[in-house]
Structure formats: structure tokens, C-alpha cells
Amino acid sequence: MVARVRVRFRQMTLEPALRVKIADDPAEFEQIHALNYRTFVEEIPRYVSSERGRYVDRFHDENTYVIALRGTVVEGMLAIRERRPFSLDDRLRDVDAYLPHGCNPCEPRLLAVERSRRGVRILPSLVHRAWEYLDARGYDLAVISGTTRQLKLYTHLGFEAFGPLVGTADALFQPMMLRREAFVPVVAPILRGSRAG
């Protein structure tokens, strides 16, 4: 019995705590490219890559990456694009015609969490850090191409659909927007959850 308790205790203390930060290290960027490949080339066939095991986003040099790290291992990420054209501008004509007048939009993209780590509170931690980053910069609207596989999640976060579906039969996406005032009531419990996780 004592040996079993010791083994359990040792396993609990070996796993480093989750840290969420803005990526700034070359090793982190390499892991981001690998996670992008597994998620957006293999799992959701959104992109094609000429490099096996690595997908570098075309906006990589302009993206800000919020990453979730356990030790030095990237377990989740979310890219933020602040400059136009957004990736959605390429998929949907006249995006601005759908958006509220006078808004200050940004585009969170490429949300990815390692398959083996889904369900362990990584998403709330990423949302928490992204919220801090975007709120500090005065953005009041986020636009995304939400995979149709996760529409329930996006709706739960306060996103609303606009325009037609975009993408291919293998990877359909719904243009969606999130107004700041719609996210504010949702963000408090998410932030509480991320601190608890």
C-alpha cells in the first residue's frame, strides 16, 4: 500500500505546470510548425505542406503566437493576426460588409491543442492569455474561420456566424465574429477555470 502511494505521488510531481505565454524562442516556433502540421495538414486537411511534419503559416512573420507549454513542450497554440488582409479576406469577398461599422477587428487563427492533451484545461488558458493580449490593444471584434467540427464550442464562446461556408468539402469553415460585449460575460468563468487548471 505504501509503495503504491509513493508511486502515485511521484507521477503527480513529475509533470511540470502549464505555462501560457507569447512565443519568442526558435525552439517554440519549430514546435508550432510541427503542431500546425499535425492539426491542419493531417487531422483537418486545411493546408498542404511541402515539408513532412512541418507547416509554416504564410503569415508566420506577422503572427503573434499564444502558446501553452508544459516544461519546454508546446501543447497548444493560438495565432493572432492584427494586420489586414486577414486569411478570411482571401476566402470571403467583402468581409467588412458583414462586420459592425467602426469596429477594430483582429483575427485569432490556427487554434490547435495536441490530441493527447485535449480536455486538460489548455483551451481556457489560451483564451485567457489571448484575451489579455487583445484587450490591451483595444480590439473590439474577432473574426475567425471556424471549423464546422467545432461550431458548438465557438457558439459557446459567444461567436456568431456570418456569410456562407468557405473551404473545401473535406474542410468546411464558417466565418464567425465575436463582439467584445458578447465575450465579456463569457470570459469571467473561462478565466476562473484557467486559473484553477
Is the distance from CB of 89 to CB of 95 less than 8 angstroms? yes
CATH number given to 2-196? 3.40.630.30
Backbone angles phi, psi at 78, to 5 degrees: -150, 125
Q: In the chain, where are the structural domains located?
A: 2-196
Give residue-wise pLDDT tens across range 10-58: 444 556 789 999 999 999 999 999 999 999 999 888 888 888 899 999 9
Write the single-letter amino acid at 151: L
Give residue-wise pLDDT tens across range 111-157: 999 988 887 678 888 888 898 899 899 999 999 998 898 899 888 88
pLDDT band of 194, cuts 50, 70, 90:
very low
Q: Bridge partners of 81?
A: 107
Write the single-letter amino acid at 73: V
| pTM for this model (two decimals) | 0.81
